[in-house]
Amino acid sequence: MSTDLNQKIYVAGHRGMVGSSIVRNLQAQGFSNIVTRTHAELDLTNQAAVQHFFETERPHQVYLAAAKVGGIHPNNTYPAEFIYDNLMVQNNVIHQAFLAEVKKLLFLGTSCIYPKLAPQPMSEDALLTGKLEPTNEPYAIAKIAGIKMCESYNRQYGASHGIDYRSVMPTNLYGPGDNYHPENSHVIPAIIRRFHEAKIKKLPEVLIWGTGTPRREFLYVDDMAAASVFVMGLDSAVYEKYISPMQSHINVGYGSDVTIAELAKAVGEAVDYQGKISFDSTKPDGAPRKWMDSSRLNRLGWSAKTALQQGLALAYSDFLKTQ
């Protein structure tokens, strides 16, 4: 099957970590007609503006990587914004894409959609089987609605309008374009910043919150972008063999997890911090393990390529550019 490299592709959220990586991936493959808008140019929560954008641009494909994203602190502090913005962005983009006859759309979700106590590794069929983690429930509810929106549009309009809207659920991501904010960032950028500052200030010790024993999975963002482009490009006949109409989302993980202590050691090596790494076990650990079952995607023919040590070195050189 030949790919039309001139087809118009809208990447929503192209200045974000994932969106920018999707743009790099598409450009590297020779796609030459990529449409983007900054948040300032197009507020995706504004229905009329999104409608006008789609009526004017009429893209062939959409990658929906725009979202309000953050760690525990912002999720806890701004729950109203997390549910409102995410629902509005995805409702507007998915519905207006449909009205503008966009045939293919990829929605980016998150592993937070799975219940707090989901069996590990978390497989796609764990969705809606239990209570969510309360701290990010509003964000997760919006993302679940996004999956169900794609599925519902496929079910109602797939045959009549030839649409095929798919969803991918990334594990924790890291890499170029990450948010290194001291309070609002995810675990890897936060630890990179801590080790870097300790190295500069020649501090003898870095204290990491918790016992260091929880296990987490991390995926390098360029692998996530590659997986996104891969899933978007899957032939319908192949894709439909692995999904069902009401359970169509696909997990994207690295395939294995590490303890926070192992992660901290690897970040220390990437940053070349020579001091001691200690753990503050009076601070909460969170869930003992969060690990995605990515076997559906593996069976479809994709697996992650970037090992943690290699990815962390690339992430650290990106962090240095922000200093």
Give me 137's structure tokens. 């429930």
> Among residues 9, 26, 34, 65, which is the contact residue for ligand NAP, using CB under 6 A?
65
Euclidean distance between CA atoms 95 and 117, whole angstroms: 33
Residue 198 or 224: which CB sits closer to ligand NAP? 224
- Cis peptide leading into 121, omega within 30 of 0? yes
Give which of 255, 237, 175, 209 is closest to 73, Cα–Cα: 209
Euclidean distance between CA atoms 79 and 138, whole angstroms: 6
Euclidean distance between CA atoms 246 and 233, whole angstroms: 20
Show contacts with ligand NAP in window 154-173 (CB under 6 A). Answer: 170, 172-173
> Among residues 9, 11, 13, 118, which is the contact residue for ligand NAP, using CB under 6 A?
13
Q: Which residue is nearest to ligand NAP (CB)?
A: 16
69 binds ligand NAP (CB under 6 A): yes
Tell me the site size for ligand NAP, rule CB under 6 A.
23
Active-site annotation holder among 114, 139, 180, 316: 139
Residue 186 or 194: which CB sits closer to ligand NAP? 186
Task: Tell me whether residue 273 is one of the annotated catalytic residues.
Answer: no
Euclidean distance between CA atoms 43 and 30, whole angstroms: 28
Q: How near is the Cβ of 303 to ligand NAP at its closest, in Å?
A: 18
Going through 32-139 in order, the beta strands assigned E by DSSP cover 34-35, 61-64, 104-108
Give me 154's structure tokens. 């496929």
Give me 300's structure tokens. 């479809």
19 binds ligand NAP (CB under 6 A): yes
In DSSP terms, which residues pair with 304 in a beta bridge? none
> Among residues 8, 24, 43, 78, which is the contact residue for ligand NAP, using CB under 6 A?
43
Residue 25 or 45: which CB sits closer to ligand NAP? 45
Contact footprint for ligand NAP (CB under 6 A):
13, 15-19, 39, 43-45, 65-69, 85, 89, 108, 110, 170, 172-173, 186
Residues assigned a catalytic role: 139
